[in-house]
Structure 1
């Protein structure tokens, strides 16, 4: 595992896979906080619970099933389309366009993908606001994954099969370490995105996912700078 990028470790990569939330935009933007509030409100309305009870249940479902949606479907048979529409009914205006990130992604050789536990509409609106949507070959969302979220193995297998991706020729960028376990097993080069100005003390990095430290090849708190540093590998 390393903090600084090593261009030589990416020279073979021709498929670039990016998570969406807190990966393609900085964690401090706090866009996902709006989604989180909406998910709590959905649980609250569905079960007629006080807000704090609804929030606790929402988080329990998330940790037990990988996403709040998966938990709600398993326990309460909710309509996934209704949930996704309401959860992602948010204001994207706080996302600042990032043309430099767009240039860095465009400069990468080969194909680029978004692989998200959110839905396609949310991914498209987010990437459009950032000004980077045009650089991606496709978006693989929770619907394409048949509503099975990362870190389960099945959605990765479906994604790899759909786009004929060879793991040893791919890299994946994620903000949750456990979501890099399957990519690492598939032979991908893995990069963990942590919040900006993050002090790289590994005890903090692995506070949430200590058992997955071996699944992470690189750690960065600045995706843009990291990608730009890879340029020498492609000259």
Structure 2
């Protein structure tokens, strides 16, 4: 399931911006499930809640504040460094190296960025395990964002100002359509990454966002193939 565009539509792109989780590695890797479990445990320990109640609150915070971290900081004034350290203490061997993706990213002209609501350490460890870390110019993480997560417009403003990005010269790849609304408004080309053979399970219904489909220019379930198709001379 890949909307493979005419490569000419990307010939102007100077800056390539990639979300991390469920974007640079496939959804079925399920790496984020480890982080999810640790976030639930953090909330449970912090507030002395049973796991079921802690998970319910965790999801409420995510939906209201954009990340569990932002919600916990707002409501409970937690130490963000402590939270980020504990929830990203996971097993990265779940991530399978992806040489094809690495080659495709390396071949892109211009600058390449990782733009994530996670922290730099998590991004570096994940990208290193994928075998793609060396192909990126910079990582813009939740700390660089002033702990304000996507999709807050001021976070994108901070990112483009820091790296002097012109929206019309950039493309952003994301697995959540709501995180593409502001990039689209800034003039960026937008690409939504969906799971292979996309059939959302009941547990994932809460994070679907079809209301934001207008922010999406292209959809693909195979990032490496999509990027390879953008090379000069590739068939549209």
Query: Which category of TM-score, normalised to the shorter sequence, fits these structures?
Result: over 0.9
Deviation digits for residues 173-218 of structure 1 (CA, Å, limit 9, x no counterpart):
000000000000000000000001226xxxx999821221110000
Query: In structure 1, the residue corresponding to 2:232 is in which secondary structure?
Result: helix
What residue number does 1:15 align with?
15
What residue number does 1:108 align with?
108
Number of residues paired by the alignment? 230
Q: Which structure 2 residues correspond to residues 46-85 of structure 1 after superposition, within 5 A?
A: 46-85=46-85
Q: Could you tell me the TM-score, scaled by structure 1's length? A: 0.94
Q: Could you tell me the TM-score, scaled by structure 2's length? A: 0.94
Q: Say whether the 8 Å CA contact 1:93–1:129 is kept in structure 2.
A: yes
Matched, 1:118 2:135: no
Q: Say whether the 8 Å CA contact 1:10–1:233 is kept in structure 2.
A: no
Deviation digits for residues 24-67 of structure 1 (CA, Å, limit 9, x no counterpart):
00000000000000000000000000000000000000000000
Q: CA deviation at 1:3?
A: 2.3
What residue number does 2:221 align with?
221
Query: In structure 2, the residue corresponding to 1:93 is in which secondary structure?
Result: helix
Q: CA deviation at 1:68?
A: 0.1
Moved over 4 A (4+): 204-207
**Structure 1's 205 and 223: CA in aligned 2 closer, same or farther, altered over 3 A?**
farther
Structure 2 unaligned regions, length at least 5: none
Q: CA deviation at 1:7?
A: 1.4
**Structure 1's 27 and 45: CA in aligned 2 closer, same or farther, altered over 3 A?**
same
What residue number does 1:170 align with?
170
Q: Say whether the 8 Å CA contact 1:194–1:220 is kept in structure 2.
A: yes
Matched, 1:187 2:187: yes
Q: Say whether the 8 Å CA contact 1:8–1:233 is kept in structure 2.
A: no
Q: Say whether the 8 Å CA contact 1:206–1:213 is kept in structure 2.
A: no
Query: In structure 2, the residue corresponding to 1:32 is in which secondary structure?
Result: helix
Query: In structure 2, the residue corresponding to 1:151 is in which secondary structure?
Result: coil
How many angstroms apart in 2 are the aligned matches of 1:183 and 1:206? 23
What residue number does 1:32 align with?
32
**Structure 1's 225 and 77: CA in aligned 2 closer, same or farther, altered over 3 A?**
same
Matched, 1:94 2:78: no
Over the residues paired in the alignment, what is the CA RMSD in angstroms? 1.9
How many angstroms apart in 1 are the aligned matches of 2:207 and 2:56? 20
How many angstroms apart in 1 are the aligned matches of 2:189 and 2:21? 20
How many angstroms apart in 2 are the aligned matches of 1:10 and 1:206? 33
How many angstroms apart in 1 are the aligned matches of 2:219 and 2:23? 12
